[in-house]
Amino acid sequence: MSRLVSIITAAEAELRNRSLEGFCRSASLEELLTECEALERFRRSSESLYERVRALFFLYAIHRFHLPEKPGLRSRALIPFSGYSHLLKRRFEEAIELFLAEQKAAGPSDAISSALAAAYRGLGFQTLADQVRRSVRSVRGNQWMFRIGHPADHPLQIHPLLKARSDGLFPVLQEATPVRMDLSHSGWSDIFFLGMDFPEGARVLNASIDLSVRSGSCSPPPRPPVEAYLRLIEQPVLRLVSVDLGAMAEISSLAEVFDFARDYLGLLKAGVIAAGVVPPGLEGAGQPLAELLARLTGQSGWGIEIVSKVNDIPKGSRLAVSTSLLACLISLLMRATGQTRRLTGPLEEDERRLVAARAILGEWLGGSGGGWQDSGGIWPGIKLIQGVLACAGDIEYGVSRGCLLPCHRVFDRQEVGEETRRNLERSLVLVHGGMAQDVGPVLEMVTEKYLLRAEAEWRARQAAIAIFDEIVAALRAGDIRRIGALTHRNFSEPIQTIIPWAGNYYTDALIRQVGESFGERFWGFWMLGGMAGGGMGFLFDPEVKPEAQERLQEIMSRTKRRLEAAVPFAMEPVVYEFAINERGTWAELRRGGEALMPPGYYALMVPRLLRVEPRHLAPSQVGELSRLGAACRTAPAYSGLVESLFERLLPQTQDAEARDRRSLEALLSEYGFDRVLHRQIQADLRSGRIGLAQNRLPVSSRIEDVEPGEVIDATRVLDGSYERLGLEALAEGALAVVSLAGGVGSRWTHGAGVVKALNPFCRLGGRHRSFIEVHLAKSRRTGRRSGTPLAHVLTTSYLTHEPIAAFLEAEDRYGYEGPLYLSPGRIVGLRLVPMTRDLRFAWEEMPQQMLDEQAQKVRDSLRAALIDWARRMGEGSDYTDNAPLQCLHPVGHWYEVPNLLRNGVLLQLLAARPNLKYLLVHNIDTLGADADPALLGLHIARGGALTAEVIPRRIEDRGGGLARVNGRLRLVEGLALPREEIEFRLSYYNSSTTWITIDRLLELFGLTRSDLGDQEKVAEAVRTVAARMPTYITLKDVKKRWGKGHEDVYPVCQFEKLWGDITALPELDARFVVVSRLRGQQLKEPAQLDGWFRDGSAAYVESLCDWE
């Protein structure tokens, strides 16, 4: 029997928990391939879900991490496009069959292994997601909702008390719910995938808390952070209102209820569905919503109004505010439709469990999903939540080891005394650090590492489990100081061993400063939720808590100001006041004069009513306005409403908009905006002369793969003479390194507009390092090796220049001893609202990675909304509806090398280094690229004007490559390929690293060294060559921030010229060299980091660096 299959099927925990890497380390290529065959057979035949899933993850890890390390695996190979196409459509089984057939026919290769790894991983997560989905549907109490396919079958009725009008007004049912705080950090053990396989290890200490945002000395008292309201209305619609998001919709069709991303009301819609008011089974039913509402309310022409409100708690708090609101809405709607025993007050235990199960359903419907502890706020006080082993009779029995729903045990006062609870409140400072992060990839990493039982991570999980026991014991003993020490250790050791990306530079900086400020009185740090940087806790000696709250606010604000160009922040950091909520979710019925919605509701809705002729207002609306008037005079909660109404009716934003417009104009003129060129591009875009589809080369272009002899293979050891030649050149000062740092790294932060080059992305050499620091450390090492410090240039743009200059100054140039120059950009573009034609082309005609079922549905709905947005904003018009810097764009890295000529940096370099002959130009994210003497020697010896480095393609390498286009060997951009599948016929991917002989490049521009002082001549030369370069229209994501930590992402249109196209010029003598993947790969997205760290890439980069 296969050794890996025996690990998966072992009954004894010791063997079952054995790691994959232990076996793979010593196995040969052949042994691994034989194991892969056995695992493939096994996963097809096994009836056990978790055995299948673990086999899939083993297969993924072998192909992703272990096979590529084994000698003898072919690197150059082609991946069948049809398999890739299946992968995009999530047809994983078919993709795997095709890739395995290709592997069988052409032999194993790095390329096919990369494709198989992607397919196995996708299928593994799909299988797990399908199982959770099935369990969510099958939970008792949820099943009936999937069977209701017609309004006539709907079994629910609105509670009679809600129909009893008083003075013509319906009563208002109000629900208020605390949020949950994870008291232990559970090592993410509440993730469904983990909890359902390892229920013994899935344990969480969870407290329900009230919150308020601290503001000076008169902070409002903490209160339940989420509220929801419901009442009947005399209109056959479902009216949804989000007070905090300022959004309202009157829904009259069933289809719209299921359209989640159409507006900001997706969470309310998910609540309506998951509570069974519009059951999920009704999706796709053609009947009118009014029919359903009539059945529910018992009166034709009536409808329901649902209002949600988050009390000033910013997004990303890591306190599960969204899930708590969802649970709050579900509880409210269940009460209103008679699905609970009591209309008001607390819920019973079985009802809470049902609300929790439906909140999971609601999250799944909305395409999101946290862990099972997130709806903990509906329970009171402090509780232990733990996974449950599936037993006979459970729907999960025989499928997974654990049940979907955990069990909750609320601690009574005997176990955790009153004094301990108050001491915890007196000691803990809760904050929101302000960082914006996507926790999704972390949850996938946790699952993957658990299933692989990666050695270090598995040990860390055991350590976290032991710490958990100690935290529970300390809580029972009332020892808060000990809890602080334990949560601190938990964060700094096991949590960051399991996921190094749970921590970050910002959090480390905060912890260090707090430690320095408070010494022994700082008892420990406490990470909340998926990762640090947003919601966090700091435990202090109670005596210093008020001071600590103030100091933390200062420290966070100051650190944020220092780092905001390098780290994505969504908001200004805040400190909370908090209190443990001892009653859980709670409802009240407001009747008679009390039957009003919250004040924020009226600030939003009254202006609409005031626009209606008074005689057209319904009597109930008139009655409500009159009661509101009385409340404004007498009720303190409504006292500030009149001012808010005036602010809304007469908005002050016009001034701010005018200010923004002026500052945008100033930026445009400062950074070299070419208005004539912009208008030309705008006109061409609108007329359809340019666009995404027009980026492509003519369909008749002949595009062929490179022949083996046409590139130099530098993945093998090169002749020693090249290295000697390179070292001599380095010693003479003949080379300068140019790192392209003008781009904003849209994919790195999803359009947050921070400087990727400065992002402290990973702990290397003992601490977090930025991209720039890594590049300088490599140059430092090369300079020391050759005996001459290497000249290094960082190109910049309007967005990156000042932050980079400031950082280099603050960090004392990272101690770099060689000449270091900044080369500022000379041209900037203004973004445009995209053409709907281009959006449709990108989203409908280009192959797209489909998402899991429900998430894909939400994405489709969002895209429809964005197409509508582009139409409303005016297709092709200037994009100015954002912070000014977010409206500008760099115009592509083609200009970054000519900028050296235009801005005088090359002239300065030549003056300082008269022997300078060569440039090594590389992207900021190509971390493995260094001034390798052998490659420099190769470039010199071969005598080309330019040598471009390429790497053997893997499935994730998208965006063109090396090709013979109409007879000429050149780099070709993915945007320019007439058909997607052509890329899959190209063996090599462009690493964007080029070696340039300066004089030959000047020759191409019609210049000599002596011309570099002639600004006009240089500018004209650059313009002439630029005109020969293709202009690409691209879509980029840009974030727009608003409210309390909210971010919307919009697709905007911009134009770019790209450096690789220089190789298309016939007079340029371009050569191509194949380098190793470790050297040539690029880090484009944070989700790549974990793989990059695990596959030896990070260690390779560290080996190239001298940090000090």
Cβ of residue 855: shortest distance to another protein, in angstroms?
10
| CA distances, 1088 to each of 747, 954, 1064, 1095 (Å) | 11, 14, 31, 11
Nearer to another protein, 152 or 466 (CB): 152
Cβ of residue 844: shortest distance to another protein, in angstroms?
13
Nearer to another protein, 853 or 1069 (CB): 853
Nearer to another protein, 82 or 694 (CB): 82
Nearer to another protein, 490 or 861 (CB): 861
Q: How many CA atoms lie within 13 A of 1010 on its CB side?
A: 0
| CA distances, 21 to each of 50, 59, 964 (Å) | 19, 12, 41
Nearer to another protein, 86 or 159 (CB): 86
For residue 124, count other CB atoms closer than 10 A to its CB: 26
For residue 611, count other CB atoms closer than 10 A to its CB: 8
- Report which of 823, 825, 824 is spatially closest to residue 673, judged by C-alpha positions: 825
Measured distance between the N- and C-terminal CA atoms of the chain, rounded to whole angstroms:
52
In the three-class reduction of DSSP (H, G, I as helix; E, B as strand; rest coil), residue 229 is classed as strand
Cβ of residue 78: shortest distance to another protein, in angstroms?
21
Cβ of residue 97: shortest distance to another protein, in angstroms?
8
Cβ of residue 123: shortest distance to another protein, in angstroms?
12
| CA distances, 1096 to each of 716, 1090, 1093, 1102 (Å) | 18, 11, 6, 10
- DSSP symbol at 233: E
Cβ of residue 388: shortest distance to another protein, in angstroms?
22
In the three-class reduction of DSSP (H, G, I as helix; E, B as strand; rest coil), residue 184 is classed as coil
Nearer to another protein, 94 or 705 (CB): 94
Cβ of residue 133: shortest distance to another protein, in angstroms?
9
Cβ of residue 44: shortest distance to another protein, in angstroms?
8
Nearer to another protein, 146 or 843 (CB): 146
Nearer to another protein, 732 or 860 (CB): 860
In order, the DSSP letters of 276-303 are TSS-GGGTT--S-HHHHHHHHHSSTT-E
Q: Name the strand (E) or helix (H) holding 1017.
A: helix 1015-1028
Nearer to another protein, 263 or 896 (CB): 263
Nearer to another protein, 89 or 784 (CB): 89
Cβ of residue 502: shortest distance to another protein, in angstroms?
33
**Cβ-based burial of 684 (10 A; exposed 0-12, middle 13-18, buried ≥19):** middle
Cβ of residue 149: shortest distance to another protein, in angstroms?
4
Q: Name the strand (E) or helix (H) holding 1105.
A: none
Q: What does the H/E/C string look like for 568-607?
A: CECCCCEEEEEEECCCCCEEEEECHHHCCCCHHHHHHHHH
Cβ of residue 57: shortest distance to another protein, in angstroms?
19
Place of tokens 């070292």: 727
Q: Which residues contact 226 (CB under 8 A, 6 or more apart)?
A: 176, 177, 179, 308, 309, 310, 311, 313, 321, 324, 325, 328, 377
Amino acid making up residue 867? I
Nearer to another protein, 39 or 735 (CB): 39
Cβ of residue 1025: shortest distance to another protein, in angstroms?
45
Cβ of residue 853: shortest distance to another protein, in angstroms?
6
In the three-class reduction of DSSP (H, G, I as helix; E, B as strand; rest coil), residue 345 is classed as strand
Nearer to another protein, 843 or 1107 (CB): 843
Nearer to another protein, 147 or 659 (CB): 147
Contact 322, 267 (CB under 8 A): yes
Give the distance between the most distant pair of CA atoms in the chain.
97
- Report which of 135, 92, 130, 131 is spatially closest to residue 854, judged by C-alpha positions: 130
Nearer to another protein, 94 or 508 (CB): 94
Nearer to another protein, 134 or 489 (CB): 134
Q: Report the side by side order of strands in the sheet with 960-965.
A: 703-704, 960-965, 968-973
Cβ of residue 371: shortest distance to another protein, in angstroms?
24
Contact 630, 593 (CB under 8 A): yes
Cβ of residue 991: shortest distance to another protein, in angstroms?
34
Nearer to another protein, 54 or 857 (CB): 857
Query: Can you tell me the distance from the alpha carbon of 92 to that of 684, in angstroms, rounded to the nearest whole number?
Result: 41
| CA distances, 769 to each of 226, 534, 588, 925, 992 (Å) | 39, 20, 53, 13, 22
In order, the DSSP letters of 947-1002 are EEEEEE--TT--SEEEEEETTEEEEEEGGG-SSHHHHTT--EEEEEEEEEEHHHHH
Binding site for another protein (CB under 8 A): 89, 91, 93-94, 97, 137, 146-150, 153, 280-285, 853-854, 856-857, 860
Q: Name the strand (E) or helix (H) holding 377.
A: none
Nearer to another protein, 20 or 254 (CB): 254
In the three-class reduction of DSSP (H, G, I as helix; E, B as strand; rest coil), residue 1071 is classed as strand
Contact 367, 356 (CB under 8 A): no
Nearer to another protein, 64 or 154 (CB): 154
Cβ of residue 267: shortest distance to another protein, in angstroms?
18
Cβ of residue 113: shortest distance to another protein, in angstroms?
22
- Report which of 326, 305, 814, 355 is spatially closest to residue 597, judged by C-alpha positions: 305
Cβ of residue 501: shortest distance to another protein, in angstroms?
31
Phi, psi angle pair for 1099, to nearest 5°: -65, -40
| CA distances, 801 to each of 563, 806, 888, 1068 (Å) | 15, 9, 14, 31
